[in-house]
């Protein structure tokens, strides 16, 4: 199960995991999002909450956009900042230095007291204006080595922070299955 209130994240995660032969179902719910200084802490608590709600092996994800010239803001507060000032508000805060990283932490909870965390980051920069539709910060984040925002990139799911974190999870999960099968 993939527990989230955000269907976009689920759709992307499902497409990515399908490439590894792992199927995923959506458990739509509002998870408690504690305020903490790291994505890992938030993800850990979200995973406990998700498992208590769905009682099945469950994946959750916590993400953050870290803008270097703003000392990592909005980082772990990315969800709140998106809902309040949004992309336009972020663009107003920026001058010339626009480098940023998009980070993802995937948490997998299967058994009591056993949360596995997988993190990944993609470096990039914030665009001068929103380009492309899609969701969240997609229209303003340009990954390194690209000239297009996530919103414009057809291959987002091959280069994104989500892809890299889920790939780590999938490798762990499949190898664990193999050793259990032996
Ligand atoms: P959350 O706390 O994990 O839900 O994510 C923090 C914020 O980042 C939310 O506003 C999400 O919509 C946004 N976000 C996370 N991943 C992406 C992405 O791949 N593209 C665009 N926005 C994202």
Active site residue 49: no
Q: For the chain, what is the mean pLDDT?
A: 95
DSSP 165: H
10 lines ligand 1 (CB under 6 A): no
Of 131, 152, 150, the C-alpha closest to 141 is 150
Give the pairing of strands 74-75 and 58-67.
antiparallel
- Give the whole-angstrom CA distance, residue 115 versus residue 58: 10
pLDDT tens digits, 112-133 = 778 999 999 999 999 999 999 8
136 lines ligand 1 (CB under 6 A): yes
Give the fold, CATH level 3, of 2-181: Maf protein (3.90.950)
Nearest atom of ligand 1 to the alpha carbon of 65: 8
- Res. 7: pLDDT tops 90: yes
The SS3 assignment for 53 reads helix
139 lines ligand 1 (CB under 6 A): no
Nearest atom of ligand 1 to the alpha carbon of 162: 19
- Res. 182: pLDDT tops 90: no
pLDDT tens digits, 62-106 = 999 999 999 999 999 999 999 999 999 999 999 989 999 999 999
Supply the pTM of this predicted model.
Answer: 0.95
Ligand 1, atom 6: nearest CA belongs to which residue? 79
Ligand 1, atom 16: nearest CA belongs to which residue? 63
Asked whether the beta carbons of 181 and 32 are under 8 A apart, the reply is no
> Could you tell me the two tokens for 44?
């850990």
């Amino acid at each position: 199960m993939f527990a989230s209130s955000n269907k976009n994240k689920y759709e992307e995660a499902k497409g990515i995991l399908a490439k590894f032969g792992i199927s995923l179902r959506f458990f739509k719910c509002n998870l408690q999002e504690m305020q903490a200084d790291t994505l890992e802490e938030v993800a850990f608590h979200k995973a406990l909450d998700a498992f208590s709600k769905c009682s099945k092996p469950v994946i959750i994800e916590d993400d953050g956009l870290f803008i270097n010239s703003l000392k990592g803001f909005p980082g772990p507060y990315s969800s709140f900042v998106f809902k309040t000032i949004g992309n336009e508000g972020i663009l107003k805060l920026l001058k010339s230095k626009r480098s940023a990283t998009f980070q993802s932490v995937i948490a997998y909870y299967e058994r009591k007291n056993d949360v596995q965390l997988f993190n990944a980051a993609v470096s990039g920069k914030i665009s001068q204006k929103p380009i492309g539709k899609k969701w969240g910060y997609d229209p303003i984040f340009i990954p390194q080595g690209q000239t297009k925002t996530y919103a414009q990139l057809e291959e987002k799911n091959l280069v994104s922070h989500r892809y890299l974190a889920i790939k780590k999870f999938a490798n762990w999960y499949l190898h664990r299955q193999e050793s259990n099968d032996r």
